[in-house]
Amino acid sequence: VDELYYNSPAGVLYDQALRYEEGSAIVDSGALAVKSGKKTGRSPLDKRIVFEEASADDVWWGKVNVKLEDKSFLTNRERAVDYLNTRRRLYVVDGFGGWDPEYRVPVRVITSRAYHALFMQNMLVPPTEAELSEFDNSAKRKPFVIFNAGVFPCNRQTPGMTSSTSISVSFKRQEMVILGTQYAGEMKKGVFTVMNYMMPLMPKRELPPAERALPLHASANIGKDNDVSIFFGLSGTGKTTLSADPKRDLIGDDEHVWHSKGVFNIEGGCYAKCIGLTREKEPEIYDAIRFGSVLENVVFDESTGGVDFEDVSITENTRVAYPLKFIPNARIPAKVDHHPKQIVLLTCDAFGVLPPISKLTQEQVMY
């Protein structure tokens, strides 16, 4: 490795992407448009969690959390590290998962693509100069490390592999290895996976569940009277759109932790769907697409730089990643000492079974 870029400014990563990553371009809004290669979405069937004694009883094993032997993880890790060591240039990003200092997890990303580095600089909580000491070798707490060698495939003959793509996590080693997919969303979800494991055990495992932290796949905002709203929903159900309310402060659009004192955002940015995006429908998100934002797999006019958000010829899963500060009414730091007053469950009911709006009782919500 001849060149190492550490927490580089957006302009430097733009330059690197434009020089060395095919399909990268600056569009008319100033955002960086990139291509993620063959994979334009996550690969959940290729995700594995190492079966380790310390965490064995804390993981719900099955079709979602698939076991992987430690030896196979180490094989993938060695393959990823060997590939990264052959690159002329690497990009390193240090940031946090979580805005609350009492709960946050330090995260280090090592990748061969500038696009991935800029993406994670947008999506992790940015450290201050003083906080960078938490990533030193002498720090008390080891950061969770993501080895992103997604440009290079895994060995399909490695036990536990079902394709040339592998996303594997070891809680004991505090590491994640990515092979065979360049889709940046795998890193974002990798951090969420770690938070889903760690937060329910904090601040102490011995405490009753109600006094421990609860990770949420949900967006959140807060009104003038400190009334927090939580919007639960799967991808594409409206979490990002509904939380970006000009009359309320945005806490976050996708991942949060609800603990005994309030709510905090896990992420430092937003990862919004772009299909059909217009300023009229979603002005806050549309205007966040500017210099420093990353547009994934969108179609644009090479002569004008104009983006066609209706064109889904590459994928319907077109995305933009931007830092929270690009939303004018974002609450920064993204944490509040207030408990949610409104809990909204969003569904995509293709069959019309559910009424458009239902007010549920506590028992119905639990069911």
**Of 8, 240, 243, 318, catalytic:** 240
**Of 42, 104, 259, 273, catalytic:** 42
User: CA separation (Å) from 150 to 28, 82, 114, 164, 356?
Assistant: 29, 13, 13, 10, 41
**Of 48, 77, 108, 239, catalytic:** 239
Cα 97-101-104 angle, rounded to 5 deg: 25
**Of 39, 108, 113, 189, catalytic:** 189
**Of 164, 235, 237, 315, catalytic:** 235
Indicate the residue type of 71: K
Q: What does the DSSP 8-state code read for residue 190?
A: H
Rounded Cα distance between 214 and 191, Å, is 15
Beta bridge partners of 26: 32
Cβ neighbors of 94 (< 8 A, separation 6 or more) are 6, 7, 106, 107, 108, 109, 127, 132, 135, 143
The answer to whether residue 217 is catalytic is yes
Are 307 and 277 in contact by the 8 Å Cβ rule? The answer is no
The answer to whether residue 77 is catalytic is no
**Of 46, 94, 249, 254, catalytic:** 254
- What 3-state class would DSSP assign to 106? strand
User: CA separation (Å) from 92 to 19, 84, 109, 232?
Assistant: 18, 11, 6, 32
The answer to whether residue 260 is catalytic is no
Cβ burial 205-232 (10 Å sphere, 16+ → b, else e): eeeeeeebbebbebbbbbeeeeebbbbb
The answer to whether residue 24 is catalytic is no
Sequence length of the chain is 367
Tokens standing for residue 87: 């690159």
Rounded Cα distance between 146 and 187, Å, is 7
**Of 173, 217, 261, 339, catalytic:** 217
The answer to whether residue 254 is catalytic is yes
The answer to whether residue 235 is catalytic is yes
How many other C-beta atoms lie within 10 A of the C-beta of residue 32? 25
**Of 259, 319, 331, 335, catalytic:** 319
Rounded Cα distance between 321 and 271, Å, is 4
The answer to whether residue 239 is catalytic is yes
Q: Where in the sequence numbering do the catalytic residues fall?
A: 42, 189, 217, 235, 239-240, 254, 319
